[in-house]
Every structure is written in structure tokens, then in C-alpha cells.
């Protein structure tokens, strides 16, 4: 039974696209959910004939948390993949849905929303990317996979982030392949 996957994304969605294009994964992407109505990732989902949901934060955070939970629950995912989702997930969400996240740094180095900028500012010569289980903290859940990415002379945030994203696109697919056989299927 193919595992049901919901992707959370807020922006361009190139990581989401990598997952959608990975035809040899034993998964069915049942929805792409975004907190931004204008996110390019929603267009990518529509091109792939995949359901989309938009849950925008309109002030009341607990209400948004509940709306996101309810929207995702309706798709009955076995796994949630956060691929460039710029909101912190509630404790209730991550304790109910097995959730992984791709972070563009070698955690625990450079957690948070500006990992690439922080790595550049720190002057490191090696950074990388991490796929981890999401817990109620910020980029603090158990690490599943990591890959190193060099910082090159003349890098700025954009060139370094693109080099990292190229690695992320492969690592997120490989990591999903690694963990899907271990997932309990909710739809059993
Ligand atoms: C990725 O680098 C991810 O690690 C970070 O946001 C970026 C999303 O890129 N959280 P894209 O929108 O999938 O191109």
C-alpha cells in the first residue's frame, strides 16, 4: 500500500517538485498545503493534478493551528513533509502526524529561518542540509539524514542557498525512500 504523503510548503516549492517528480517512491502525494495563497508551490501541485489547501494565518494563532490540523487530517497522511514551510507546527500537530522537515544547514548548527545567511555570516567553509523528524521545538527533532555542502569564495546567500537546495532535492527524496517502509499506515 503506497504511503499517503501531505507536503507543506510556503514558497517556490522546488523541494516539493523533486518529491512530485520522484516516480520510484512508494508514496502517493495526496495534497500540497500552503500558508500562502500566492505560493508557486500551489501551481506546481495543480500541474501535477494534486489537491491543494490554503491555510492563511489571519491573526489568531491557535485558530490557525486548529485549521491546519483539520485540513491536513482530512487527507489522512501517513507522513507529512515540510519542504520550505515557514511556520512552526503545533505540538498537537507533530504528535499526531509523523512529520519530517528539510533544513538548509547541518543541525544543530544554524537553526531557524535564516540558516544560510547565518552560516555565511559565521564564515564557515562547510555547511549542508538536514532532514529531521519535527518535534515541538524549532529545528530540534531527531536527525535522520545530513549532507555537507561547501561554501565557495564569492558566495552570497542566493548562490549558497541554491547549491544547498540542489543537494536537498536529492536528500529529501532519498530520506523519504528510507523511512516509508517504517511508517504505520493510517489508512490501514
Ligand atoms: C529549502 O532550502 C528548505 O530547506 C527551506 O526553504 C527552502 C525551500 O525551497 N526551509 P523551495 O521553496 O522548495 O525551493
Read off the pLDDT of residues 14-40 as tens digits, 9 standing for 90 and up. Answer: 999 999 999 999 999 999 999 999 999
Please tell me the distance between residue 14's alpha carbon and the centre of ligand 1 in angstroms: 7
Is pLDDT at 1 greater than 90 in this prediction? Answer: no
Catalytic residues: 103
Q: Which of 12, 15, 19, 159 to mutate to test the pocket of ligand 1 (most atoms within 8 A of CB)?
A: 15
pTM of the complete model: 0.96
Going by alpha carbons, the residue nearest to atom 3 of ligand 1 is: 84
Please tell me the distance between residue 140's alpha carbon and the centre of ligand 1 in angstroms: 17
Nearest to 83 by CA among 21, 131, 145, 141: 131
* pLDDT band at residue 186 under the 50/70/90 scheme: low
Q: Per-residue pLDDT averaged across 107-112, rounded?
A: 98
Long-range contacts made by residues 58-64, C-beta under 8 angstroms, separation at least 24?
A: 64/35
pLDDT at residue number 188: 39
Phi, psi of 53 (to 5 degrees): -135, 145
Q: What is the topology classification, in CATH, of domain 3-103+131-145+168-182?
A: Rossmann fold (3.40.50)
Instruction: Report the b/e string of 113-148 with b at 16+ CB within 10 A.
Output: eebbebbbeeebeebbbbbbebeeeebebeebbbee
Note the maximum CA span of the chain.
52
The Cα 117–Cα 180 span in angstroms is 32
Q: Per-residue pLDDT averaged across 171-184, rounded?
A: 95
Q: How many CB atoms lie within 10 A of CB 101?
A: 23
What is the overall mean pLDDT for the chain?
96
pLDDT at residue number 113: 95
Using CB distances shorter than 6 Å, the residues near ligand 1 are: 9, 11-16, 83-84, 102-104, 165, 168
Whole-number Cα distances in Å, 58 to 27, 32, 35, 70 = 32, 20, 10, 16
Q: Which of 105, 107, 144, 165 to mutate to test the pocket of ligand 1 (most atoms within 8 A of CB)?
A: 165
pLDDT at residue number 69: 98
Q: Per-residue pLDDT averaged across 103-132, rounded?
A: 98
Residue 131 near residue 144 (C-beta atoms within 8 A): yes
Please tell me the distance between residue 46's alpha carbon and the centre of ligand 1 in angstroms: 19
Q: Per-residue pLDDT averaged across 46-66, rounded?
A: 97
The Cα 125–Cα 117 span in angstroms is 13
For 101, left (φ over 0), alpha (ψ -120 to 50), or beta? Answer: beta
Going by alpha carbons, the residue nearest to atom 14 of ligand 1 is: 14
pLDDT at residue number 96: 97
Helix ranges restricted to H, 48-99: 61-73, 91-96
pLDDT at residue number 59: 87
Please tell me the distance between residue 104's alpha carbon and the centre of ligand 1 in angstroms: 7
Instruction: List pLDDT tens digits, range 67-102.
Output: 999 999 999 999 999 999 999 999 999 999 999 999
Amino acid at each position: 500500500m503506497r504511503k499517503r504523503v501531505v507536503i507543506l510548503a510556503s514558497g517556490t516549492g522546488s523541494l516539493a517538485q523533486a518529491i512530485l517528480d520522484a516516480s520510484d517512491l512508494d508514496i502517493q502525494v495526496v495534497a500540497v498545503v500552503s500558508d500562502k495563497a500566492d505560493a508557486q508551490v500551489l501551481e506546481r501541485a495543480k500541474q501535477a493534478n494534486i489537491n491543494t489547501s490554503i491555510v492563511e494565518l489571519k491573526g489568531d494563532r491557535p485558530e490557525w493551528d486548529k485549521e491546519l490540523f483539520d485540513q491536513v487530517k482530512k487527507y489522512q497522511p501517513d507522513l507529512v513533509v515540510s519542504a520550505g514551510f515557514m511556520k512552526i507546527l503545533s505540538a498537537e500537530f507533530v504528535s499526531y502526524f509523523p512529520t519530517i522537515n528539510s533544513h538548509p544547514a547541518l543541525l544543530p548548527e544554524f537553526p531557524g529561518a535564516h540558516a544560510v545567511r547565518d552560516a555565511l555570516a559565521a564564515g564557515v567553509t562547510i555547511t549542508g542540509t538536514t532532514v529531521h523528524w519535527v518535534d515541538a521545538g524549532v529545528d530540534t527533532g531527531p536527525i535522520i539524514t545530513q549532507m555537507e555542502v561547501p561554501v565557495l569564495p564569492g558566495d552570497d546567500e542566493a548562490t549558497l542557498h541554491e547549491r544547498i537546495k540542489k543537494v536537498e532535492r536529492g536528500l529529501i527524496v532519498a530520506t523519504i525512500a528510507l523511512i516509508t517502509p517504517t511508517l504505520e499506515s493510517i489508512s490501514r
